[in-house]
Amino acid sequence: MNARRMRQGMTLMEIMVSMAILALIGMMTAGVVGQALANREKLEAEDGVRQQARMALNRISRELSLAYLTSNVSSPNSYRTVFVGKDDGEIDSLWFAALSHHRIYQDARECDQTELTYWGEIDPNDSGSYVLLHREAPRIDHEPDKDGVILPLAFGVKRLDFKYLDGTNDEWADEWDSQGVDQANRLPRAVRVILVVEGPSSQSQDETKEYTYATTVLLEYASNLNKSAFATGSGNTVTSPLSGGNTRRLPGGGTGGARGLPGSSR
């Protein structure tokens, strides 16, 4: 009987049961693969947000470490250098002169001096977050807050906070103005930067997560916190703790500048 049935093949019921089992296995496999791909996309999106924040913080740190001031404004083509930081709530603003410019084109009439500005504007695609903007002018002029190229540094920014270490009293300040009374002609000894960005959460598809990054940047051309009583010399040289105590001469000599408003050319 069994041999006769085998010669006749499978019945319609058996074929239907086999197809149902294969369909169930296919659905289960597709679900597992789909979930794996979705998790991969979440992790990639989260990694992209983290990488964007790290790159922005690294660039800010590098540029801040090379901030400088000069009082050489007596020549006909005078220029002004400033270091001004404003506490603007969720997104602080900061503009200053630095020696961080990289020349891209060979034989271009540019040097390492540059004007920089950081500030934020509401993201047009997400009203609940900001776009961190970066302005760089490859030449120092008498308007330290204008001209240059404006590019975004990071998206989905929820907070950008700057704190400034005063080398005279070892206290942190919320704002800094190199043209003000308290910080006249001085750079902060260090700047603490806190950057908070919002991005997708790898735990939930419908939720977002905030990622916080912080660093403290020592300004190479700022005065030391504790000066020796035997220190000599004028304000044209400073001792840099980032270069093994070697003295460096500031471009133009001395400190000084004028105050501008961030992003006025926008």
pLDDT tens for 64-75 read 999 988 766 555
pLDDT of residue 149: 84
What pTM, to 2 d.p., does this model score?
Answer: 0.67
Listed by start position, the domains of the chain span: 42-249
- State the number of CA atoms in the 13 A half-sphere of 131 facing the CB: 13
pLDDT(201) > 80? no
- Give the whole-number percent of the chain exceeding pLDDT 90: 30
Binning pLDDT at 50, 70 and 90, where does residue 5 land? low
pLDDT of residue 20: 83
pLDDT of residue 258: 34
Q: Using one digit for the tens of pLDDT, what is the confidence trace for 12-35?
A: 787 788 888 888 888 887 777 777
Q: Using one digit for the tens of pLDDT, what is the confidence trace for 91-101?
A: 999 999 998 87
| Per-range mean pLDDT, top range of 29-33, 53-57, 235-239, 241-245 | 53-57
